[in-house]
């Protein structure tokens, strides 16, 4: 299933002029072209305000890390900075989840993971509800984890800030 999503993603991004404008997060937001200006992508208020039913303990974060490695690394990168191998072919680049960590409510992340948008696939038919929330716990913990040394190609090493 993951390979099918990746192949579909590559076909869509390489053969279409789809542009996603998602706001001001470096690496995935704020890359709107002049023709596609739009507001920052946020979940609907009712979804963003949903509480996370899974406690953000070390077991949940570890489960989320494994789910991330299995499903998200190809686009968002091993360091969750938006520089995965597939990201090289994407415009705009995937979101820098490290920059977003702690800046969005859990429900916002859960909604975005479930429904996707543009090149970001919807995971609601792949991940169950608990898996989504474990993944959210991992993403939220990224701002507390050191960035690993990496050599993932161009575009890695730029300073980033979170602005809306």
The answer as to whether 130 is a domain residue is yes
How far apart, in whole angstroms, are the C-alpha atoms of residue 66 and residue 70? 6
The answer as to whether 109 is a domain residue is yes
Other Cβ atoms closer than 10 A to 44:
11
Domain count, the chain: 1
Please write the tens of the pLDDT for every residue from 14-62. 333 333 333 334 444 433 333 333 446 899 999 999 999 999 999 999 9
How far is C-alpha 16 from the chain's CA centre?
21
The answer as to whether 152 is a domain residue is no
The whole domain housing 104 covers 2-144
- What is the DSSP-derived secondary structure letter of residue 81? S
Please write the tens of the pLDDT for every residue from 75-133. 999 999 999 999 999 988 999 999 999 999 999 999 999 999 989 999 999 999 999 99
| CATH code (residue 45) | 1.10.760.10
Strand partners, 6: none
């Amino acid at each position: 299933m993951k390979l099918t999503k990746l192949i579909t993603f590559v076909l869509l991004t390489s053969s279409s002029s789809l542009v996603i404008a998602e706001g001001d997060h470096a690496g995935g937001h704020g890359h709107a072209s002049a023709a596609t200006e739009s507001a920052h992508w946020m979940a609907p208020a009712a979804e963003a305000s949903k509480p996370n039913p899974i406690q953000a303990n070390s077991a949940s974060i570890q489960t989320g890390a494994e789910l991330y490695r299995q499903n998200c690394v190809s686009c968002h990168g091993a360091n969750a900075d938006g520089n995965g191998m597939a990201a090289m072919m994407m415009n705009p680049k995937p979101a820098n989840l490290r920059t977003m960590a702690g800046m969005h409510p859990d429900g916002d992340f859960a909604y975005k993971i479930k429904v996707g948008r543009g090149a970001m696939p919807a995971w609601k038919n792949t991940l169950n509800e608990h898996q989504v929330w474990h993944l959210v716990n991992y993403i939220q913990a990224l701002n507390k984890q050191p960035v690993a040394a990496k050599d993932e190609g161009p575009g890695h090493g730029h300073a980033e800030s979170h602005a809306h």
